[in-house]
Structures are given as C-alpha cells and as structure tokens.
Amino acid sequence: MTAEPDPTPFPLDHLAERGADADVALILKQEKLSFADLRDRVRRLAAWLAHQAPEKGARIATWATKGELTCLMPLAAARAGLVHVPINPLLKHAQAAHILSDSGATILIGTQARLKSLEAGDVPQHCRLIEENDALDSAAELSEHMPPSNADPDDLTAILYTSGSTGRPKGVMLSHANLWLGAASVAHYLGMASDDVTLAVLPLSFDYGQNQLLSTWYAGGAVAPLDYLFPKDVMKACAKHQVTTLAAVPPLWVQLTELDWSEQAVAPMLRLTNSGGALTTDIVRDLRGIFPEARLFPMYGLTEAFRSTFLDPDLVDSHPTSMGTAIPFAEILVINDAGELAAPREEGELVHCGPLVAQGYWQDVERTAERFKPSPKMSNYGGIAVWSGDRVKRDAQGLLYFVGRWDAMIKSQGNRISPQEVEEAAFATGLVAEAVALGIADERLGQAVHLVVRAEPGAVDADKQLPKLLAKEMPNFMQPQVIHWRTAMPLNPNGKIDRSALQRELSV
C-alpha cells in the first residue's frame, strides 16, 4: 500500500470504468453483473434519466430496497448531470414527503408499495412518480448509450439526508470530488483489491452505506447488496458469497456476535469495519474470537465530512477506546475553548478540514453557517471546515479519543458528565450488552443521569448487581438516578440506537 492514494478527483460515474471487463462488480439476487455489464447499464440508465430530466442539476429521488436501481443510481445520475437523493427504505411516507419537498425532487423512482404508501399532499406538484421496474425496463430498451461524463469534480451530485436524530433531516450536499476521494481514501486504508467481495448490509442512503459500493468499485471489487430480516441472514450471505469485507454499526455487531458463525462464513473474511458509534471492549473481544484472521477497523465519521478517522487494526488491542488518526485526505484538528490548537490530553472540538468536507446543507443557510465555518488558522488546507461539535482529546502519540458531543453532555449538580463515560462503566461490568446514558430534567439536580440498558445474555441478577458495581467504579455525581432495563433498544433508520427516541420517552 502506497503512502497516500491519488488525490486527483474524477467525476463519480468514472467508478464504473475501474474494474476489468470480466470481473464481477455487482451480485444481485437473480444475476451477477460484470464490470462490462455495470458500464452498459449505467450508460443506459444515465441516458434514460437525461431524457426524463433534461435540466442539469435536477434532483432525482429513489425510494427502494437494495438492488439494481439503488446500486446504479449514484453513478447513472452523476453521468446524466443530475443530483441523486436516496431515501432510506425504512422511512415512512411523512419523512419521504419532507425529503421530496425539501430537495425539490422532480422525479421519485420507487417500489410500487412505497409509492402507494404516499398520501394526498405528500408529493409536490412538480414531482413525477415512476415505478422501479418501469424505470429499469425503459432504460434496458434504450439503444442509446451515454459515455462517461466530463463533469467538474466540484459539481453537486448527491444530497444525503441525515437520520433526523436532532430534528428534521438535513440534506447534506456532496460533490463528485467528495464521493470520489472518499472512495479512494477508504479503499486505500482498508487495503481493498479487485478480488474483494463486500456485503452491503447498511442503507445506501447512509454515507457509510453508500461508501460500501463506491470504495469497493474504486478497488475493482464486487458488491453483494443485502436487505436482511434477521442477523442470521447476514451470516448466511457471508458464507454464500465468500464475503471478505463487512461493515456494520454497533447495534448490528452486538446481534452478530451472538450468533454461532459457520466456518464457511468466517474463513474468507479479511476485514471488519465499524462506524456510527464506538465499539465496546466486549464487542472487540467477541469479534476477535469469531474472526481471528480478520483485521478490525474502528472508524469515526459524520455525514458533513463523510469520514474523519480510523484506528489501525494493529492498535485495537492496545488502544481499544481510541478513534485513531485522520484518514487520507482528512486533516483533523482539536481546537480548545480559546480557539487554539489543543495541547496533548487537552479537551477540544474536533474540526475536520480538507476535500472531504461537504458543500453544506441544501437550502439551509442558517444551519450551514453553524456547522461549516472557516478552517482554523493553523490548518494546512484552509477553506471551509466542519466544526463537528464533538469533544475529543489527542494523546502524546497523536491518537484521538472521543469525550462526547457538546450538546449531549449531562449537566448535573454543576458537573459536566460524558454519557460515554457512564456507558463505558456499565459495559465494564460485563452485565449489559447495550447502554445509553441520558440527562433528564430534574428540579434538584438540573439533570439526572438515566441509564437505559439491555442485559448481556446469560447475566445473572444483572438488575441487582449493576447498581452496586457502578457505585464502586464511579463518583457519586455520575451515578444513574434511574436504570431502565429493556429487552431491545429502539433503532433509527440507519441502524444506530435512537437516543432521541429514548430521550423523548423518558422526558414525558
């Protein structure tokens, strides 16, 4: 692996040109597409889209499960000079209606069931509905082929809507360069190659999920998209397709580590990647036990800058709680409350600079100005940076550690408490599989610490033992006033624990 991947961005649709003709690019339920097939179908779909939406920069939304349409659209829309707006298939009609209205989408391509779920008033007058199979059939009938684009890499090509955990979803504007360099960066530090097979289990409307496609195709590898009902479906697909690369978020890893994995699913696995929340030491231990030969990549990212850091797998055991260091094309600065570069072990805000920074929020000048601000004066890149709102520390070796979100800190009795610190103490007892610490309004304390947990399978008297163990390990002001036991945690559409739902539930 070279010291740095090629920093030259290209139009996103050129990813279809990366693989050798005969190599497999996409593994669908009924067929496998070679890279030659991928190129042909991207060309036809792009030509069809250009006929349907001749205005350059028009927004084209998709609302469908993983398959040919959702996998081809990022490249086909880019080639046609359009802007792709993927809608998470787990969303309901009200959230889809917001995205259609906010993005100004002129076309929505979706499954028949999803289109039928839309109610009166959900679809703007200017937006046409096209059923997924009709779109694919019409594109396949075209004899016209659209060649690779010569788009400016800085042109807008996608709007990805955040999951809405802090309010209405915001549309993050991404350029060809953002997505191309993100694919190049990840393929590089993961060490991906043309013989890799990635199982795409995450939503393609999620930046982490979409990168499963783009980074694999950048490396010339194959993608097997999977919409799973049960965790066991993931294991079976790993065995069936001889998967080498699996990406997930912590709640899914917890479920996967509770399975009895077959040797056919384990043997081909080369790498596991995590983002969307920190891995616990228990999950790391369990993944190590199941996949002893696979390299584990903990990662940190945010949609506004895609990905910021990764931890070298060789350091996972010795520094299990670290976020690692900057990925290629990312400059990560820790800025203290005085606006200066934080000293080692000094807490500050994580600021992401460089070409992975998005173009802001779609038609939202106010919220863009809050998050996208000029880079600190010591930045090598300059320009606009993402000020994440996440509090981190950097140790003397340069490794980063997450402290907590500034707006998620619990303020109790005049103390500022990191929810993550409370959660880590709960995990350390070995009694809980999942934990969420929240601050709930309290007349006496300002905020009281509430801890929501799911017991570790097989834990004995966990409800009695957990308060005792926490009392031994944490100071009084950090102790949970209430512990809520759950058999399952609520998840948001991207598969992460829905902290906002728990906050609303407990604040009533």
Predicted pLDDT of residue 197: 98
Residue 168 vs residue 190, higher pLDDT: 190
Exposed, middle or buried by CB within 10 Å (0-12, 13-18, 19+), for 101?
middle
489: alpha, beta or left, given left = phi > 0 and alpha = psi -120 to 50? beta
Q: Is the pLDDT of residue 453 over 70?
A: yes
What CA–CA distance (Å, rounded) separates 140 from 45?
7
Cβ count near 343 (within 10 Å): 12
Q: Is the pLDDT of residue 415 over 80?
A: no
What CA–CA distance (Å, rounded) separates 209 from 422?
29
Strand partners, 27: 32
Instruction: Please check whether residue 353 is in contact with residue 385, taking contact to mean a CB–CB distance below 8 angstroms.
Output: yes
Angle, helix 35-52 to helix 132-141, in steps of 10 degrees: 100
pLDDT tens digits, one per residue of 316-325: 999 988 999 9
Lowest mean pLDDT: which of 20-34, 144-158, 399-413? Answer: 399-413
CA angle 204, 206, 210 (to 5 degrees): 45
What CA–CA distance (Å, rounded) separates 382 from 375?
5
Predicted pLDDT of residue 163: 63
pLDDT tens digits, one per residue of 146-183: 999 999 999 999 999 986 434 567 999 999 999 999 99
pTM tops 0.85, yes or no: yes
DSSP string, 179-195: HHHHHHHHHHHHT--TT
pLDDT tens digits, one per residue of 366-380: 999 999 999 999 999
Instruction: Please check whether residue 87 is in contact with residue 96, taking contact to mean a CB–CB distance below 8 angstroms.
Output: yes
Instruction: Tell which residue, 376, 379, 384, has the closest CA to residue 336.
Output: 376
Angle, helix 35-52 to helix 68-79, in steps of 10 degrees: 70
What CA–CA distance (Å, rounded) separates 407 from 453?
22
- Mean pLDDT value across residues 226-240: 97
Cβ count near 257 (within 10 Å): 19
Enumerate the domain spans of the chain: 12-392, 409-507
Strand partners, 62: 86, 109
Q: How far is CA 437 from CA 412, 416, 494, in A?
A: 13, 13, 20
- Mean pLDDT value across residues 227-251: 96
Task: Name, in order, each residue with C-beta under 8 angstroms of 376's C-beta and a sequence gap of 6 or more.
Answer: 333, 335, 339, 341, 351, 353, 385
Q: What's the DSSP call for residue 16?
A: G
Strand partners, 485: 453
Q: Is the pLDDT of residue 280 over 90?
A: no
CATH number for the domain whose boundaries are 12-392:
3.40.50.12780
Any idea which architecture 409-507 has in CATH? 2-Layer Sandwich (3.30)
Q: Which tokens in the block code for residue 329?
A: 């094309």
Residue 481 main-chain phi, psi, to 5 deg? -75, -30
Predicted pLDDT of residue 351: 98
What CA–CA distance (Å, rounded) separates 411 from 413?
7
User: Which amino acid, 494?
Assistant: N
What CA–CA distance (Å, rounded) separates 315 from 312?
6
Residue 157 main-chain phi, psi, to 5 deg? -130, -15
Predicted pLDDT of residue 232: 98
Q: Is the pLDDT of residue 478 over 80?
A: yes
DSSP string, 129-151: EEEHHHHHHHHHH----PPPP--
Predicted pLDDT of residue 2: 56
Cβ count near 42 (within 10 Å): 28
Predicted pLDDT of residue 214: 98
- Mean pLDDT value across residues 231-257: 95
Query: How far does the chain reach from its first CA to its final CA, in angstroms?
Result: 53
Predicted pLDDT of residue 3: 65
Q: Which tokens in the block code for residue 55?
A: 């205005």
pLDDT tens digits, one per residue of 311-357: 999 999 999 889 999 999 999 999 999 999 999 999 999 999 999 99
Instruction: Please check whether residue 155 is in contact with residue 21, taking contact to mean a CB–CB distance below 8 angstroms.
Output: no
DSSP string, 294-324: SEEEEEE--TTTS--EE--GGGTTTSTTEEE
318: alpha, beta or left, given left = phi > 0 and alpha = psi -120 to 50? alpha
**CA 325 to chain centroid:** 18
Predicted pLDDT of residue 1: 53
Give yes or no on whether 12-392 and 409-507 have one common fold: no
Radius of gyration over every alpha carbon of the chain, rounded to an integer in angstroms: 23
**CA 424 to chain centroid:** 22
Q: Is the pLDDT of residue 186 over 60?
A: yes
User: Which amino acid, 384?
Assistant: I
Percent of the chain with pLDDT over 70: 98
Residue 394 in 3-state DSSP?
strand
Residue 193 vs residue 408, higher pLDDT: 193
Strand partners, 438: 450
Instruction: Tell which residue, 12, 13, 9, 83, has the closest CA to residue 41.
Output: 13
